[in-house]
Amino acid sequence: MLALGAICQIGQIVLLRELLMVFQGNELSIGIILAAWMVWVGLGSRLGGTLAQRVRRPVVVLALDSAGVLVGLPATILAIRALRGVFDVVPGAHLSLQDMTLSCLAVMAPVCLLLGAQFVLLARIWREADGAQDTTGAEKTYIGEALGNTLGGIVFTFLLVHHLSSFHAAVLAAVLTPAALLWLTRRGTERTGSISTGTRAALVGLVAAAAVVLPFLGRLDSWAHWVRWRVFAPAYDLVETRESRYGTISVVQREDQYSFFQSGNLVFSTGGAKEPESLLEEQEGAVFAHFSLVQHPSPERILLIGGGLRGTLREMLRHGVESVDYIELDAALTEAARPYLPAATLQALEDPRVRLLHTDGRLFVKGTDRTYDMIIVDGPDPSTAVLNRYYTEEFFREARSRLNPGGVLVVGVTSTADLRERALANRNAAIYHTLRRAFPHVLPAGERFLFYFATDTPDQLSADPHTLQVRFMERGVESRAFSPWHFHTLLQDAQVRRVNWILRHHGRSPGAHLEPPPRGPMLVGPIEDLEQEEEDLPPVQERYFINSDFRPIGYYYTLIYWNMQARADHAYALRWMLHVQPWWILPLVGASLLTVGGLRLLTRRKDSRPDAHFALFCAVFTTGLSTMALQIALLFSFQSIYGFVYEMVGLIVAIFMAGLALGTALTHVFVRDKANMRTLALVQLLIAVFAGVVAVALPRFAAVESPRLVFALFSAVTFGAGLLNGVDFPLATACCLRLRGGAEKATGIVYGVELFGACTGALLASVVVAPVLGLVACCLLATVANGSACLILIVARMSYGKA
């Protein structure tokens, strides 16, 4: 059981990480990946329950099952890396929701079905070993698997992720079950079962083969990375791959250009070390640096978050600044890039005015006591929740608190002429309105790339090309990549006025997120007049036009935009999600209550209890849904604060599983009458109250300044969610056994229904609720779901008492 839990945990994390790379870090896929995992494991447990009732020697079936997992898990990793070749998408394009769903369901089915069946087979083996006829074997198996999950998560987080490839981790985890099975059956008895000499020899051979191939898995990993790049971007040659705690770094080459990708996302490109300055590749970095620096009359202390490796840092130093704190999240990326960077960029990194920090920009801004004249964020568009963290209200307020009087914050995103694309207009308007929440003065400027300059001082920002040109020339800046005449190209008066008018007006009417942005008058007044007029405009629609850590709508709009560019016919699902309203859950709750009430009135026979069956399944389903919705909310919240879950997801899940193991153990020891619907209803009420408390507390946790205290609080909530889920499982299996009979059948049904509920919760929470309605809404979804389950159980119990 410990082996099963460990392989489930390690296998799930490995496949999650591999699929996230294929899906380019898109967090919407987390729910889809987990849902696919759980739906197949749930179906496997259901099939395993039927199989466990019919086979005479479950140990033999378990041996064959574990052999299939040992072969299937590495094969699944290889299939994932070749996955994009199945779809007709342009290189670099994001896969749609439909693509991701089909991918996850297809590649994860074999392994997950086998793992789901193992749970029920082990439950039967333990029940027979104890000589019991009830579901205590399932309870012990549940505890053992949860402890194995905890152990697997800890080992992966602190050991495997740092030193081994995905193939090594998968094989080492998958070999645990055959090895444990060989030990279990070393002296076959009637209680533990036995396996034939041939089956035992086959298992020994399989374990030995795994040991033999371990030294060669590094080559398989390299070849599989090459396969992934051949289907992702055929025109590029893979130069090298490095594993990092933040994702896989790939260095690829096309002719004389080198590009650096992390988790499938382009970070920057360079012309290589042979060129003293990569003028073409670093043109955008030069424009970003010079256009930003002239927005402050005398910038001295600068904080640069990202972008330094693409030339932004080098060009900033030409303005005579006193110091630059340059933050690059991943030290592995910097080291991977050094051999390919131009000499001028390397010199900038060694400049005594530069302090290179490898840390998370959000955490640094939140915790530092330094103040700056300018904070410049030079990063990719917010296409993931990780990147979206630098475009939220919380970050903007934190940045303002670290700016000196008259200081300027600079961010930028992709745009289009006159903001003609709806999703992009929504995203860019949301960033503008969010900035206005934190800063009294915001100036957007640009066409294909939109700069946002924000400050708390009137008349600090300028859209006058002549003023900026004079500042540039007075500083004696000499750059081959940027000239004083660029300002006249970047700041065409009519275009700047029109963009400002659209951004200030869009997002103020109900349903604005579903409509194209307003076109505005033919002649737009100066920026100063637009600022005064803005005070009299209707309020902004907060749900859809204020981007925050707890409602990351900005990255949702970005995903819609990129889906529209790559596969417009597949973007409708994301666009439809924007119609979702919180009250939509109420008809489902009402229908469930009416159903159980109708079943109770229509059923007169005491031996036929459809209302009790329905109530029990509702309770199990909602428990799975609620715990997964809470998990998604906690994962997203953790990511918004710490910036990554790539490494820590194993530890987070391990904490949850430790709580689950304790909850099940406490119920097994202290609850005598487990088949009691009143007790089960009380647990549903406790889960509902717990989720409600988390909904209130979650934003307050994020406001805590100490990262360690924040982690402790999140760990406590995660542990509590697991504890309540663990209490629920043995109660539900005992009630199911009383209602339906058959220990393995009851175990398979409850385990499968709970996983199906978790699957639904993962999909709803990560794809719809979290990005559109917010993370707090995920917790409230759990509150409503389990509160309804409590009422349904009460209605059903009124006619059958304890049964």
Q: Which positions are annotated as active-site residues?
A: 378
Helix pair angle (2-22, 136-155), 10° resolution: 50
Q: Are 25 and 562 within 8 A, CB to CB?
A: no
Question: Strand, coil or helix: what is 760?
Answer: helix
What does the alpha-carbon distance between residue 551 and residue 618 come to, in Å, rounded to a whole number?
29
Beta-strand runs (E) in 162-275 = 237-244, 247-254, 257-262, 265-270
User: Which burial class, exposed, middle or buried, applies to 572 when counting CB atoms under 10 A from its CB (0-12, 13-18, 19+)?
Assistant: middle
Amino acid at 211: A
Record the tokens describing residue 653, joined without a space: 């899940």
DSSP 264: T
Q: What is the DSSP string of 334-377?
A: HHHHGGGS-HHHHHHHH-TTEEEE-S-HHHHHHH----EEEEEE
What are residue 441's phi and psi, to 5 degrees? -130, 120
Q: Are 38 and 105 within 8 A, CB to CB?
A: no
Beta bridge partners of 452: 411, 444
**357 Cβ neighbours under 8 A, 6+ residues apart:** 325, 326, 327, 328, 364
Q: Are 624 and 769 within 8 A, CB to CB?
A: no
What does the alpha-carbon distance between residue 35 and residue 501 come to, in Å, rounded to a whole number?
43
Record the tokens describing residue 655, joined without a space: 């904490």
What are residue 311's phi and psi, to 5 degrees? 110, -10
First and final C-alpha spacing in the chain = 31
Beta bridge partners of 250: 241, 261
DSSP 552: -
27 to 487, 633, 639, 767: CA distances (angstroms)? 38, 12, 10, 8
Sign of CA dihedral 492, 494, 498, 501: positive
**527 Cβ neighbours under 8 A, 6+ residues apart:** 443, 463, 496, 497, 500
Q: Are 116 and 584 within 8 A, CB to CB?
A: no
| Nearest residue to 40 (alpha-carbon basis) of 121, 110, 138, 102 | 110
What does the alpha-carbon distance between residue 645 and residue 64 come to, in Å, rounded to a whole number?
34
Q: Are 498 and 522 within 8 A, CB to CB?
A: no
483 to 309, 321, 463, 734: CA distances (angstroms)? 21, 19, 17, 76
**244 Cβ neighbours under 8 A, 6+ residues apart:** 262, 330, 332, 333
Record the tokens describing residue 110, joined without a space: 């074999």
Q: What is the DSSP string of 223-253?
A: HHHHHHHHHH-TTSEEEEEEEETTEEEEEEE
**655 Cβ neighbours under 8 A, 6+ residues apart:** 150, 153, 715, 718, 719, 722
Could you give the angle at the alpha carbon of 783 between the alpha carbons of 139 and 765, nearest 5°? Answer: 85
767 to 32, 90, 105, 383, 640: CA distances (angstroms)? 8, 24, 16, 14, 17
What does the alpha-carbon distance between residue 468 and residue 475 come to, in Å, rounded to a whole number?
11
